[in-house]
Amino acid sequence: MFTIIDKSNYLKGLLILARKDNKLFDSEKEIIRDIAKKLDFNKDFYEEILRNLLANQYIKDDPMKFSDRKIAESFLADGFKLACADNNFDESELFWLKDIALVNEISETEFDALYRNFLSVKSAS
C-alpha cells in the first residue's frame, strides 16, 4: 500500500507538523517514533532528525501528495493525534493539515468530518 515515497512523505509530514509551533514535546516525539518504526525507518535515522528538527532549515513545509487517498486519510488521522499531543492544537497545524487534504483531493467538508470524528473518538477515550 505504501510506496517508499509515501513512507518518506509520511514521516516528513509528521516532522513538519511537529515543528509548526516551534516546540517539540516528548509526547510528539513518541508518536513520531512509533510511526517511524511502523514505516520501517532506521532508529538512528529518525532519532537524529528528532534531535535537530527545530534547527533544520532544509525540511521544506510544502504539503505532500500521497499515491493513494487512504494514505492521505491515515496521515490526517495521525496528524490530528500528533497536533493534539501537546494539548494545544495550534491554528497553523490545522491550516497545514487542511492544505494536505486539499492537495490530496479531500474536500474541506470531508476534512471537517474527519476532524470531527477524531475529536469525538478522542473525547470518548
Q: What is the pLDDT of residue 2?
A: 93
pLDDT at res. 76: 98
pLDDT value for 106: 98
- The model carries a pTM of 0.93
How high is the pLDDT of residue 14? 97
Distance from C-alpha of 44 to C-alpha of 91, rounded to nearest angstrom: 31
Q: How far apart are CA 97 and CA 87, in angstroms?
A: 17
CA distances 27 to 34, 106, 107, Å, are: 11, 28, 29
Low-confidence ranges of the chain (pLDDT < 70): none
Alpha carbon distance 10, 122 (integer Å): 22
Check residue 35 and give its pLDDT: 98
Asked whether 80 and 115 are in contact (CB, 8 A), the reply is yes
